[in-house]
Amino acid sequence: MFGDIYKGKKVFVTGETGFKGSWLCAWLLKLGASVTGFSNGPPGSPANFEVIGLGELIRAYPGDVRDAAALTRELTAAAPDIVFHLAAQALVRESYDEPTVTIETNAMGVMNILEAIRRVPSVRAAVVITSDKCYRNDEWVYGYREIDPLGGADPYSASKACAEIISHCYFQSFFRDGPACATARAGNVIGGGDWAKDRIVPDCARAWARGEPALIRNPRATRPWQCVLEPLSGYLWLGARLLDANLGANGYDPRGRSYNFGPPADAVYTTGELADGLVRRWPGFAWTTEEKERKEKKESGLLKLCCDRALAELDWKAALNFEETLDYTAEWYARYYQKKGDTREFTFRQIERYENRARERGILWAGI
């Protein structure tokens, strides 16, 4: 997997207690890496980080990415080979309530980690994860490309556009001769262990665990839904390529570049279709919707990505289709809520199952 590049490597992950961060750390451990995390704690309770007991398996330092001194201190102590920056205020609707916190965390947090990387000579590579919402969303039917305008009508999206601009400033100003860095943008991810508020799958899981119908805010909104392991495979493969320029080389240099990671262009579904798919897997449950949209916290209705650059330059593509993504998600939550066994062990088994599926489908990072 990934050219066996992570075996024995020291990896620093910000936001390791979050949804994607916890899955990334679990995968890195499976790949043989030594992992150090830095975050201000789990986003709530329950949290995937605690459910699968990651605190027992990695070194996790409490801290806020807005605290530049603490971040630099812990990065220096960890002396990692590679950094994955995921720490963020990750909710669009919350960004309306806390715009200052959102922009400080998502924009200045990126500057702080890049400044820290400048001061730690062990770091050879870094992947800065932003969001598909960094694009100026004109609600068009085309997938957004990495060369399309950045922007954001809400504080969250604006903060992610700022993070991209800051990253590329540092890449061009300070990192031309190393370390090797790039940014990654992914669409909406779903999977086991997400309990964030105002997200469709956690909202359904919580409501159905109580025996209540789930409330879906905008069932007609479309998103590039993908299993959480899909973009993580992109981050890991991008990181591997940054660490070893000859790994899977096909003439493209990923340094200083941005990459979209998402499903094929035609694999875009509405939130209503997603909820219906979960109901088919959790029979007996239902969902309802609000009678009118809440205008004071507007969210985009149409959003999808073009991932042609990742395919052309990294030989990366999604391994799962929409129905398989729903299977992975529903099975994980069923395992947790029905208490059918060790959730940690099941999490690692899902990762292995995903690796095997990627290999079967001829995806390069899976070691075909």
CB 58 within 8 A of CB 35: yes
Q: What class, spelled out in words, does domain 7-192+225-267+302-321 have in CATH?
A: alpha beta
Rounded to the nearest angstrom, the gap between the alpha carbon of residue 230 and the centroid of all alpha carbons in its chain is 9
User: What b/e readout covers 174-193, taking b as 16+ CB neighbours within 10 angstroms?
Assistant: ebeeebbbbbbbbbbbbbbb
pLDDT tens per residue, range 248-291: 777 899 999 999 999 988 888 899 999 999 999 988 899 999 75
Whether the predicted pLDDT of 293 surpasses 60? no
pLDDT tens per residue, range 53-77: 999 999 999 999 999 999 999 999 9
Torsional class of 347: left (φ above 0), alpha (ψ -120 to 50), beta (otherwise)? alpha
Residues 6+ apart with CB under 8 A from 130: 160, 163, 164, 167, 183, 184, 185
Whether the predicted pLDDT of 118 surpasses 90? yes
Domain boundaries, the chain: 7-192+225-267+302-321
User: What pLDDT shows up at residue 284?
Assistant: 85
CB 302 within 8 A of CB 221: yes
Residues 6+ apart with CB under 8 A from 92: 133, 154, 156, 157, 198, 297, 299
pTM for this entry = 0.94
